[in-house]
Amino acid sequence: MCFCICLLCLYMHTLPFLRRTRVSFVLSTLLFIFNNVYAQTCSKTAQGLTTTEMTVISKVSTLVTTQWLRKQIGSSNTATRALRILDTSFVRDKQVDTYTMAYLEGHIPQALFFDLHKCVESTPSIPRNLPDPSCFTSYVRKLGIWPDTHVVAYDRFGPASAYRTWWLFRLYGHTNISVLDGGYRKWVADGYDTTKEEPEVEPSMFIPQLDRFLVRTFDDMAENLRTCREQVVDARGATDRAVVDTESGGGKIPGSRHVSFEELFNEDGTMKTEEQLKSMFDDAGLNLQRPLVATCNTGMTACGVAAAAHILGRDIPVYYGSWTEWRQRAREEHTYSGCTEQQDVLKNGLGL
């Protein structure tokens, strides 16, 4: 049996006594962690982290509104353990000091700056690599994020980095995270206050647990060309997929279908309705009742498509190397997939 199951049994048998001791607090915390990973299987170790093969069920909504967040903040700039707001404002160039240029110029009250470049060792094929687990753990602890902390991420330059942060925290086992619908631009447009004050927080005991279900590698995607187990949804816009785009190099992973990240949103930056999102997947020939995997250019906007699928009740993984890695590593045997033809047969057979 997994350790977490044994712990639950011990807790239940000793609960009357433990209620009268301080040990109760410790085991209650551990039980909370168990409750957040109850859907996971027993684990193995990879990249220095505990990994799992099933995704956990989030207890908070994918999106929160500016009105909801304003109510939670109240009139104080004192951050609490229960809520951690992260300004994830991001630009591609690591040399740009976004903390000084954006965050210190004004942010949502109680918000801390979260640097997506931190702990990441970029490579030519994977410029948006996963953060080093040890470094990421230390960084998140300094932000005062506990297992029960509700994290809310937002961006000011467009929603991509907020959704990348949403996916990243879930990948490392923290499912209590939402994205501020409409981001900083919507917050300001709604007339809510901003501040230049940076809140102080106490360090936490963040315990990462890599959810292997939520991530795909190049080898996974190459194998999928053979098995066609997962439908591939490409989040890039038309410009990104064109040959004229110097970063993407043009082209796509064989068999992939297209749901543009940019088209997920209304003019004010809020995400479209569930009905509209569902239509986008349907129009692309994607069946939400079957496994999917999201990809894009560098692993950023694919996270937004993953969030859209999550809103529709489907957890899907992200190929974090995406097209930038694929076009550099793919060989001749990776140039064809029969998956598209299989999807068309399924679509026609189901009358979709």
Rg of the chain over Cα atoms, rounded to whole angstroms, equals 21
Q: Say yes or no: 182 and 238 in one domain.
A: no
- Residue 82 pLDDT greater than 90, yes or no: yes
Determine whether 296 is an active site residue: yes
Higher-confidence residue of 36 and 131: namely: 131
Q: Are 189 and 267 in the same domain?
A: no
**Claim to verify: residue 331 and residue 265 sit in the same structural domain:** yes
Residues spanned by the domain of 330 = 217-347
Domain shared by 67 and 185, yes or no: yes
Query: In terms of domains, do 248 and 166 share one?
Result: no
Q: Does 118 share its domain with 257? A: no
β strands within 68-144, DSSP E:
83-87, 111-113
For residue 341, the domain's CATH number is 3.40.250.10
Q: Of 136, 188, 198, 193, nearest to 165 (Cα)? A: 136
Domain boundary among 212, 228, 262: 212
The answer to whether the beta carbons of residues 167 and 307 sit under 8 Å apart is yes
Does residue 257 sit in the same domain as residue 204?
A: no
Using alpha carbons only, give the angle 321, 322, 324 rounded to the nearest 5 degrees.
85
In a shared domain, residues 260 and 198 = no
Overall size of the chain counted in residues: 352
Task: Provide the pLDDT confidence category of residue 22 given band limits of 50, 70 and 90.
Answer: very low
Which of 259, 239, 238, 265 has its CA nearest to residue 314? 259
One domain for residues 176 and 246: no
Tokens linked to 178: 């939402």
- Using CA atoms, how far residue 118 sits from 132, 148, 172, 210, 338, in Å, is 9, 23, 15, 18, 39
Split at pLDDT 50, 70, 90, the class of 168 is very high
What residue has token string 């906007």? 301
Q: What is the pLDDT of residue 143?
A: 97
The domain boundary residue, chosen from 195, 212, 229 = 212
Q: Does any domain span residue 16?
A: no
Mean pLDDT within 145-158: 95
Asked if 206 and 313 sit in the same domain, the reply is no
CA distance 98 to 74: 27
Please pick, among 4, 228, 296, 303, the residue that the annotation labels catalytic.
296
pLDDT in tens, 288-324: 999 999 999 999 999 999 999 999 999 999 999 999 9
Q: Is residue 247 part of a domain?
A: yes
* Whole-number pLDDT of residue 78: 76
Q: How far apart are CA 136 and CA 142, in angstroms?
A: 10
Q: Tell me the Ramachandran region of residue 195: left when phi exceeds 0, alpha when psi lies from -120 to 50, beta otherwise.
A: beta
The CB density around residue 155, as the number of other CB atoms within 10 Å, is 26
pLDDT at residue 126, as a whole number: 84
Q: How many domains does the chain have?
A: 2
The pTM of this model reads 0.79
> Tens of pLDDT along 39-60?
333 333 334 444 444 444 457 8
Q: Is the pLDDT of residue 265 over 80?
A: yes
